Amino acid sequence: MKKVSVKVCLGTTCFVMGSANLQELIEIVPAKYGNKVDVSGVPCLGLCSVDWEFSKAPYVKVNNEVIKEATVEKVLNEIDKQLAK
Ligand code: FES
Protein backbone atom coordinates (compact mmCIF):
# COMPACT_ATOMS: atom_id res chain seq x y z
CA MET A 1 0.00 0.00 0.00
CA LYS A 2 1.21 3.46 -0.81
CA LYS A 3 1.97 5.74 2.05
CA VAL A 4 -0.06 8.87 2.56
CA SER A 5 2.09 11.96 2.61
CA VAL A 6 1.21 14.90 4.83
CA LYS A 7 2.99 18.19 4.42
CA VAL A 8 2.33 20.86 6.99
CA CYS A 9 3.27 24.29 5.69
CA LEU A 10 5.47 26.14 8.12
CA GLY A 11 6.07 29.12 5.85
CA THR A 12 5.57 32.56 7.35
CA THR A 13 2.00 33.17 6.22
CA CYS A 14 0.75 29.80 7.30
CA PHE A 15 2.70 30.00 10.52
CA VAL A 16 1.16 33.36 11.39
CA MET A 17 -2.28 32.05 10.45
CA GLY A 18 -2.00 29.14 12.83
CA SER A 19 0.12 26.35 11.44
CA ALA A 20 2.06 26.42 14.71
CA ASN A 21 -0.93 24.57 16.17
CA LEU A 22 -0.65 22.01 13.41
CA GLN A 23 2.81 21.01 14.45
CA GLU A 24 1.22 18.65 16.93
CA LEU A 25 0.26 16.59 13.87
CA ILE A 26 3.91 15.70 13.61
CA GLU A 27 3.48 13.77 16.87
CA ILE A 28 -0.17 12.71 16.61
CA VAL A 29 -0.01 11.25 13.12
CA PRO A 30 2.80 8.73 13.65
CA ALA A 31 1.24 7.72 16.99
CA LYS A 32 -2.11 7.10 15.28
CA TYR A 33 -1.12 5.72 11.88
CA GLY A 34 2.37 4.36 12.40
CA ASN A 35 4.32 4.08 9.18
CA LYS A 36 1.27 4.29 6.92
CA VAL A 37 1.57 8.06 6.88
CA ASP A 38 4.60 10.28 6.41
CA VAL A 39 4.25 13.67 7.99
CA SER A 40 6.66 16.55 7.71
CA GLY A 41 6.83 20.29 8.08
CA VAL A 42 7.76 22.05 4.86
CA PRO A 43 8.63 25.59 3.87
CA CYS A 44 6.06 27.68 1.97
CA LEU A 45 4.05 25.46 -0.37
CA GLY A 46 3.59 28.43 -2.69
CA LEU A 47 -0.15 28.45 -2.10
CA CYS A 48 -0.36 31.61 -0.04
CA SER A 49 0.95 33.77 -2.87
CA VAL A 50 -1.72 32.44 -5.22
CA ASP A 51 -4.40 33.23 -2.71
CA TRP A 52 -3.60 36.90 -2.37
CA GLU A 53 -5.89 37.55 0.54
CA PHE A 54 -4.04 34.91 2.55
CA SER A 55 -7.43 34.14 3.90
CA LYS A 56 -7.24 30.39 3.47
CA ALA A 57 -3.97 29.78 5.29
CA PRO A 58 -2.76 27.64 6.95
CA TYR A 59 -2.41 25.06 4.25
CA VAL A 60 -1.62 21.39 4.60
CA LYS A 61 -1.20 18.97 1.73
CA VAL A 62 -2.38 15.39 2.13
CA ASN A 63 -1.15 13.55 -0.95
CA ASN A 64 -2.38 15.88 -3.69
CA GLU A 65 -5.27 17.32 -1.72
CA VAL A 66 -4.76 20.84 -0.49
CA ILE A 67 -6.47 21.52 2.80
CA LYS A 68 -7.27 25.18 3.33
CA GLU A 69 -7.70 26.75 6.74
CA ALA A 70 -6.33 23.50 8.02
CA THR A 71 -7.07 22.21 11.48
CA VAL A 72 -5.85 19.04 13.13
CA GLU A 73 -9.33 17.59 12.70
CA LYS A 74 -9.58 18.40 8.98
CA VAL A 75 -6.18 16.88 8.34
CA LEU A 76 -7.01 13.67 10.22
CA ASN A 77 -10.28 13.38 8.28
CA GLU A 78 -8.44 13.72 4.99
CA ILE A 79 -5.86 11.13 6.02
CA ASP A 80 -8.69 8.71 6.78
CA LYS A 81 -10.19 9.42 3.36
CA GLN A 82 -6.90 8.84 1.59
CA LEU A 83 -6.26 5.62 3.50
CA ALA A 84 -9.72 4.34 2.57
CA LYS A 85 -8.99 4.70 -1.16
S1 FES B 1 3.38 30.10 3.82
FE2 FES B 1 2.15 28.34 3.57
S3 FES B 1 1.71 28.29 1.47
FE4 FES B 1 3.03 29.97 1.72
- Give nearest CA residue, ligand 1 atom 1: 11
pLDDT bracket for residue 51 (50, 70, 90): low
Q: What is the pLDDT of residue 52?
A: 58
Q: Find which of 45-49, 53-57, 60-64 is predicted with most confidence, using mean pLDDT.
A: 60-64
pLDDT at residue 46 above 70? yes
Round to whole Å and give the CA distance between 71 and 2. Answer: 24
CA of 31 to the centre of ligand 1 (A): 26
Which CATH number belongs to the domain containing residue 75 in this structure?
A: 3.40.30.10
Domain count, the chain: 1
pLDDT at residue 1 above 90? no
Ligand 1 pocket, residue 11 CB under 6 Å: yes
The angle that helices 25-33 and 72-84 make with each other, rounded to 10 degrees, is: 30
Of 7, 23, 47, 52, the one to substitute when testing ligand 1's pocket (max ligand atoms within 8 A of C-beta) is: 47
What is the domain range of residue 52?
A: 4-84
pLDDT bracket for residue 55 (50, 70, 90): confident
Round to whole Å and give the CA distance between 51 and 63. Answer: 20
Q: What is the pLDDT of residue 85?
A: 87
Over pLDDT 70: what percentage of the chain?
Answer: 94
